[in-house]
Structure 1
Amino acid sequence: KALRIDPLNGPNAGSGVPVKISSVRLTKTATSELEAITFLADTVRVNPPPQVKLLAPSFFSGNDYARTVLGRSWDMKDTYSTPSYANLLNADFVKSIPDLGLTGNFFRGVSQPAASGATEGDPAVFFTFQNNAKPIDASRFRLMRVRMYVPFNEADQNELTVGAVARLSWKETDFNSFVTYDMPLLPGMRDIWVDMPKVRVEGNTGVWGPELIRYLRIDPFEFRPSRPFYLGGASLHTLPTVTNVLPLSLSLLGHPDAKLAVRVLVDGVEIHKTQDLKPGLAGLDVPLGSVSEGQHTLQVCAEDALNKGCTTLAVPFVRTADTTAVSTTDAESLFAWVEALAPGLLKPNGEASGDIAGFYARCYAQSGQCLAVKDNRTYYFDGKSLVDFGSSSPLIAQAKAAGF
């Protein structure tokens, strides 16, 4: 009653792609012409849209509280990974989750059943417990990551249709009430990222702000019966911080022959564009120019000639001032290194004369060019205009690594 062909199908089919069908034949028996056809077994790709994955900076780029303040990570390898827990029948550290076929480091706990008249057994794992010596500076550390697996009861459909939650809770002192953020639970391993100041907390009891947190815990679920759970690695990071140049590491996906354009936007405004990149790994150094100090949102887009829509990933970051003065010794090392890199462009061996008012500089009368530093910034003067080369710190580090 119906016979059709779908020339394009699947998640990458796209739209507006012209298709031409040369002919269609329907016969009772195959002819020699049809039997002679050979089919290409390779995967056919029809204009797959470009994708971009931002490898760095990322939510991992900032400092981790456990590593930098406590001196140990919450990696769930052993008893040093998490300090305390409550309302568990038993707990240990394991190397796999058999249900999921995963290997790694996991804290495994089994909750106690709910007491008479209670709605849940209230299992809790504390990342910090009564930590007066090294509290969490909530004004700095804000990006929380938790990996967690809670096996669902397949016979209880309410767990999926009505829902279940895990809870992040924190408070400043013994005398405060816990501030609570509920997170929906889903089957499988969850990799949860939370920007703590932006969450909606239960009952508007407080916010993650400029205070010192002495208690931070996760309640894996709120079930009445006893239930196992697994916690993978956890961490609490500061926002990525940069000064004048933003180094990006990208993974670009698209048609093998595509030439991709990558656009970098800060707070929705394009500040950099690079053309003719091939799919694969790419690194960009993006000058921040007039981007002001403070917190911003970074977005990266990729597009090709056929797919103008771009995949966008947003990461918050902070631009800070970089005004530490450069010592004359470091400046001389930097100048000598640049001279060695460009012996034909600048007069070699440090034989320079002249100066630029307000800068520490080497000017080369023979070519009319200058190298200069001021307030930890490096500049190049080509005889007509002053070019800002960005922060001096990474350049000085390279110069010293090269022996200058």
Structure 2
Amino acid sequence: MDLSRPQCRHWRELVLLASLLACGIRQATSQISIDPESLIGIKGFRSVLVLQNVTQDAQEYSWHRGANDTVENMIVSYKAPSNTWQSGPMHSDRENVTKTGDLTIRRTELSDAGNYTVRVDFSNRTERATGYLYVQELEKKPDIWANTSTVIEYMDSVAIICYTNATIVKWYVNYEQVSSNDQMTISPDFKTLIIHKVGRYDRTLQCETESIPEFPRRSEPLSLTVYYGPDKVQLSTSHIIRNGVLSARIGSQVRMQCIAISKPSPKYHWIHNGSRLSFSEAEIILPSLAWEQMGRYRCIVENPTTQLAMYREFQIRVHTAGESSSLSLGLTPHNSFTISGAKVVWLIVITVLGGVYICGILIYALISHFSTRRHRGA
């Protein structure tokens, strides 16, 4: 990471005051200066001491360790006309000076803190500036702890603590920053997060600190195991189910499968006409449908951990020749009409009685007609 110009403005006045105190030898007539914002280094990162107010007639830049520019404490220099660099006694192979006069320090160490003096030789004068480099060490990544690692969705809560001395703490759930709301609460010191009812997507938790502005440190992810379900239970079959009825021919193969979302994987139970079957898998297959296998089936999906269960049920009925051929083709029929055997008997009886009633009316009308004609003829 390049820390050539860290934006730590609230340090500016402190750094500037320290630079002025350390720079007792700075000449009152000097125009060049070291940017106070660049006098804050971070251990392990690159620091750049930025030179300001340098005119174009500069011929040589010479950086020194300490509050003076003696030959013994020179770090490195650069001569503009000849485009050459020269290392001094205080050079550690990590320092260099740019063509614009800035001093760079690679992999800044805590021991690099202290006064730095730059001398700039112009065509007709020499100017100096001194500044104090502060080197800070980033706080280690904060540790994170939770009172439990396994929870049941929407039933259990979890409390997470961020161990840090920092005053600025942020919380992240599934890598998104969160704040106090109806589902979770952050303590007043920001170091504790409580999720009241954990959801299945609240699995990854992190806290972030910022002891040095603009240099956040985020904890390692803490993963929760969230048990949930079953939900979204669906039924898949080898035949079409319409209005809860599966129509199949005797001797045909029937496949039935339950599909559900659950963690851990659920258990399956199958009920046929009120009796529990020996099948305990999500799918059962009837290789050759028999008459005794007709009736109502129920698939029960159970999660022993969450103690929740759901079911789907349907009825297997014999496919008759009068039914729409689209069923045998695996297509969903647009319209269907069925009538039970008892209703057929009643329909026949009503039809017969209606016919007898109509015949009686016709016979009565004929007798009345002939009787009227006979009386007239007499």
Same fold (TM over 0.5): no
Provide TM-score, normalisation by structure 1: 0.24
Bigger relative contact order, structure 1 or 2, given CA contacts below 8 A and separation 6+? 1
Provide TM-score, normalisation by structure 2: 0.25
